[in-house]
Amino acid sequence: MESRELASAHRGASLQRPALANTVSSHMVRLVLDTAKLAGVQGPHLAHIGGLDRSLLPYNRTRIPTADLYRLWEVLARTAGREMGVRAAATAEFGRLHVWDYLIRSAPTLADGFRDAARFSAVLCDPIAEFHVKENGDQLQVTYVDTPTNEPVDIVHREFALAVAVRRAREGFGPAATPVRVDFAHHAPTHREYLVKSLGTDNIHFDQRSDTITFLTCGSASGSLEHEHDPQLREILHYYAQGLIDNARPEHTWLDTFRSALRETLSSSNEIAVTLDAVAHRLVLSTRTLQRRLTAHDTTWRVELETARRELAVALLHNPALPVKSIAHQLGYRDQQTLSRAFHQWTGQSPSTYRRSL
């Protein structure tokens, strides 16, 4: 089954964790922001990510909209290159990703460790993103599954996911946890040395069916990459991770983030039409994914666009120096008459009458 099919098959995970849907851990966002700073990407490059309240990032239970993380990845890919996913993994010293970092090394075997990491991946990721663990003879395969967004973001964040998984495996189980093969669904880079160095193998393949790490499980006498572990500590970690999932506090809902992006697009648009494609690009989503998410939130593009137009029209009419014709064009209407008809439907007044009443 291909990555996109796997993502579709497991899409119900986000519905089972409504408080976490379309959000990620603040630890993840803080790590990417720190990586951006180290790469010299900050200030004006990140200013457009308006939904990100950096004052909330230190709190363990705070969740940040997934769309903001994707926009961060997009900025890094555009300004610093596709290697930024691996560079973020290199920045992720043990403990930076909070409780998730301890799950793999606290298990008795590498396979159990990845199962624990997969079971509680929502403490770190959007619930729609998952790890799938499969043992096949003497091989252990760990596959990362997420919904596709666009190519730069897919590349950097999937390379990050596999690189950090390999790093945590080595930290918990030593050199025997070095992969023997790594597959990526995206196309090959011009130079792949940065991946070889990070993953510890040059047996890397691109344009594959999934993003998968393959380990050999025969690295110890027992044949399962076992090590000493504390079962009580493992139980405590499970309890704590589940508590974070159950008591998460989203900073914003996904719909809040979408509406903010729509308003930003309307406010900055010099075009006649504000399109679904334009807002999807701002959110770093495919148009189809954006449509599906709007449907999941019991709304539509048309309803949201007209609501945003009404709110912005009312705000702009408070500026008497701004011609109604200019307001119409900013809102994506062909002419002043089209705005007047819409405004009358909203308020029972024309824009000019409403302005005179202020």
The per-residue pLDDT for range 17-29, each reduced to its tens digit, is 556 888 899 899 9
Q: Verify that 169 and 51 share a domain, yes or no.
A: yes
The per-residue pLDDT for range 58-83, each reduced to its tens digit, is 556 778 888 888 888 988 998 899 99
Q: Verify that 200 and 336 share a domain, yes or no.
A: no
**Which neighbouring-strand residues pair with 204?**
182
Q: Verify that 221 and 344 share a domain, yes or no.
A: no
CATH value at residue 281: 1.10.10.60
Q: What is the DSSP string of 250-269?
A: ESS-HHHHHHHHHHHHHHH-
> Using an 8 Å Cβ cutoff, are 51 and 256 in contact?
yes
Average pLDDT, the chain: 86
Whole-number pLDDT of residue 261: 85
Whole-number pLDDT of residue 272: 55
Q: Verify that 282 and 144 share a domain, yes or no.
A: no
Tell me how many domains the chain contains.
2
Whole-number pLDDT of residue 2: 38
Of 190, 216, 249, which closes a domain?
Answer: 249
Q: Verify that 92 and 165 share a domain, yes or no.
A: yes
Tokens of 87: 């560079």
Q: Is the pLDDT of residue 10 over 70?
A: no
- Coil, strand, or helix at residue 136? strand
Q: Is the pLDDT of residue 198 over 50?
A: yes
> Using an 8 Å Cβ cutoff, are 117 and 197 in contact?
no
The per-residue pLDDT for range 151-184, each reduced to its tens digit, is 889 999 999 999 999 999 999 999 989 999 999 9
Q: Is the pLDDT of residue 337 over 50?
A: yes
Burial 2-40 (b: 16+ CB within 10 A, else e): ebeebbeeeeebbeebeebbbbbbbbbbbbbbebbeebe
* 292 half-sphere exposure, CB direction, 13 A CA radius: 11
Q: What are the angstrom distances between the C-alpha of 203 and each of 138, 199, 206, 271?
A: 17, 10, 10, 48
**Which neighbouring-strand residues pair with 104?**
none
Q: Verify that 235 and 316 share a domain, yes or no.
A: no
Say how far residue 3 (Cα) sits from the centre of its chain. 16
Between these two residues, 62 and 202, which has the higher pLDDT value?
202
Of 208, 223, 249, which closes a domain?
Answer: 249
Whole-number pLDDT of residue 357: 82
Q: Is the pLDDT of residue 234 over 80?
A: yes
Q: What are phi and psi of 96, to 5 degrees?
A: -65, -30
The per-residue pLDDT for range 300-329, each reduced to its tens digit, is 999 999 998 988 888 888 888 889 998 888
Whole-number pLDDT of residue 167: 98
The per-residue pLDDT for range 238-285, each reduced to its tens digit, is 999 999 998 887 666 778 888 888 888 887 766 556 889 989 888 888
User: Residue 5 — pLDDT band, cuts 50, 70, 90?
Assistant: very low
Q: Verify that 132 and 275 share a domain, yes or no.
A: no
Q: Verify that 221 and 306 share a domain, yes or no.
A: no
Of 249, 280, 308, which closes a domain?
Answer: 249
Q: Is the pLDDT of residue 137 over 60?
A: yes
Q: Verify that 110 and 197 share a domain, yes or no.
A: yes
Tokens of 351: 């824009």
Whole-number pLDDT of residue 55: 53
Question: Within 10 Å of residue 223's Cβ, how many Cβ atoms?
Answer: 12
* 49 half-sphere exposure, CB direction, 13 A CA radius: 24
Domain encompassing residue 76: 3-249
Whole-number pLDDT of residue 52: 57
Percentage of the chain exceeding pLDDT 90: 50
Whole-number pLDDT of residue 222: 45
> Strand 204-205 relative to strand 181-183: parallel, antiparallel, unpaired?
parallel
- 164-168, 212-216, 348-352: lowest mean pLDDT where? 348-352
Whole-number pLDDT of residue 6: 38
Whole-number pLDDT of residue 15: 38
Q: Verify that 105 and 243 share a domain, yes or no.
A: yes
- Among all chains, which residue has been given the structure tokens 């393949």? 205
Q: Verify that 207 and 308 share a domain, yes or no.
A: no
Between these two residues, 358 and 94, which has the higher pLDDT value?
94
Whole-number pLDDT of residue 259: 87
- Coil, strand, or helix at residue 249? strand
Whole-number pLDDT of residue 316: 87
> Using an 8 Å Cβ cutoff, are 309 and 342 in contact?
yes
- 85-94, 227-236, 242-251: lowest mean pLDDT where? 242-251
Q: Is the pLDDT of residue 149 over 50?
A: yes
Q: Verify that 138 and 111 share a domain, yes or no.
A: yes
